[in-house]
Amino acid sequence: MPRTLQLKRYANTVVANTTGASGELIIDSTNLTITVHDGSTIGGRRIATEPFVSNSLNLFSFTVNSEILLTQSAFNRANIAYVVANNGYNLANTLANVIANTTMSTNASSNIAIAAFNQANAANILAQNVYNYANTINTYTYSSNTFLQANDLVIWTYANSSFTQANSANVLAQSAFNQANSANVLAQSAFNQANSANVLAQSAFNQANSANVLAQSSYNKANSIVVYANSNVISLLSSFGTNTIVTTSNISAGNLVSTGTITTTGNGVGYSTGSGGTITQATSRTTGVTLNKPSGQITLFSQALASGAANTFIFTNSTISANDFLLINHFSGGTLGNYTFASNTSTGQANVTVRSISTVSAEAPVLQYVLIKGAAS
């Protein structure tokens, strides 16, 4: 007659605390699975059922797929970081070329390169984290805690597929790490390029600043010349030697000082408009007159003179110095050729004497005078 083999049956809570004999089989009536005992391991080792293994592997495969997606995302971010770093390098290189031809500041290009470096570095860290996580998945696949100890070939193949997928995630993470590391190197190169551009810009600034100082010095020198000319003294010293200063225009200055000979082929040397004036003598031929101009006309008082008679008056003029020469000419009025003129100068004035050669009736001669500067030493 057929016999029914029944093994020991306990609830899972009891099995978990039971140490069976070596080779003994005990049924877990809660989970409907068999546990194999070795005489020492409490709870024994449970033989996985197909639904349990399938559910576990489905959960495991879902986890691995999630890590694959995360790794792909890390790779994409690393690739974006590489693009950003490459753009930063190109921008820094462009800025370097621009700065090499101008004096603009490169602080902006340096900031861009630093930003590219930080972005690539962040991608590098993310890729490393993904690599570590995928490596954990790989280790977990080989762990004795998985259900790959099942003898079922289908289950082993499924688990091996999960390991392969996790290993692909590992390779992808390594690729992402390498890509991010390349971006890091490129960002460092961009930073170095921008730093070189900064040094070049500083050099250009220093050069321009030196040029500015030189221009300022030239301006000050030119301004000193203008001030010196405006101080009414132009000195043509003997350091010119036999050199000749040629000009086709007027030289306007207060005093023109030369140690050589001043010649002209133009219309002569003299006073221009604005340097002259007129004055009329009042009361008598001995009444003093005042006219503070180096050139001008004096209309004498109308008076008759006997032959050889003379009159002297004081001509006050602030432009006269003690050693100057006052040149007087009978310009108009009265009898031309009937008068002689004499003068002696002192500081701020001159004594002017008018003498009649023959007797004349009352008339008012007009005298033209020109002051010529002189020196006694």
Range scoring the smallest mean pLDDT among 74-78, 120-124, 152-156, 317-321: 152-156
Q: pLDDT value at position 254?
A: 59
Q: pLDDT value at position 123?
A: 56
Q: Which residues on adjacent β-strands are paired with residue 341? A: 354
What phi, psi does 269 have (nearest 5°)?
-110, 130
Domain ranges of the chain: 8-46, 52-212, 276-372
Q: Which of 106, 115, 107 is closest to 88 using CA atoms?
A: 115
Q: Is 66 helix (H, G, I), strand (E, B) or coil?
A: helix
More reliable by pLDDT, 177 or 289: 289
Average pLDDT value for residue range 361-367:
95
Q: pLDDT value at position 197?
A: 86
Q: pLDDT value at position 95?
A: 60
Residue 182 exposure: Cα atoms within 13 Å on the Cβ side = 12
pTM here is: 0.38
Average pLDDT value for residue range 56-69:
77
User: What is the radius of gyration, based on Cα positions, of the chain?
Assistant: 59
Q: pLDDT value at position 249?
A: 62
| Residue pLDDT, tens place only, 276-309 | 999 999 999 999 999 999 999 999 999 999 999 9
Query: Mean pLDDT, the chain, as a whole number?
Result: 79
Give the pair of three-digit tokens for residue 200. Answer: 């070049």
Q: Which of 34, 36, 3 is closest to 21 using CA atoms?
A: 36
Give the pair of three-digit tokens for residue 310. Answer: 């003379």
Range scoring the smallest mean pLDDT among 23-32, 150-159, 249-258, 306-315: 150-159
Select, from the ranges 92-101, 218-227, 304-313, the one with the highest average predicted confidence (pLDDT): 304-313
Q: What is the DSSP string of 277-299?
A: EEEE--SSTT--EE---SEEEEE
Range scoring the smallest mean pLDDT among 135-139, 228-232, 350-354: 228-232
Q: Which of 327, 377, 310, 374 is closest to 347 using CA atoms?
A: 374
Q: pLDDT value at position 117?
A: 60
Give the pair of three-digit tokens for residue 2. Answer: 């057929």
Cα–Cα distance measured from residue 148 to residue 159, given in angstroms and rounded to the nearest whole number: 6
Q: What is the DSSP string of 141-197?
A: HH-TTSSTT---HHHHHHHHHHHHHHHHHHHHHHHHHHHHHHHHHHHHHHHHHHHHH
Cα–Cα distance measured from residue 183 to residue 75, given in angstroms and rounded to the nearest whole number: 12
Average pLDDT value for residue range 144-173:
58
| Residue pLDDT, tens place only, 320-356 | 999 999 999 999 998 999 999 999 999 999 999 999 9
Give the pair of three-digit tokens for residue 369. Answer: 């005078």
Contacts of 17 (CB under 8 A, 6+ apart): 42, 43
CATH topology of domain 8-46: Seminal Fluid Protein  PDC-109 (Domain B) (2.10.10)
pLDDT > 90 in the chain, percent:
40
Q: Answer whether 28's CB lies under 8 Å from 12's CB.
A: yes
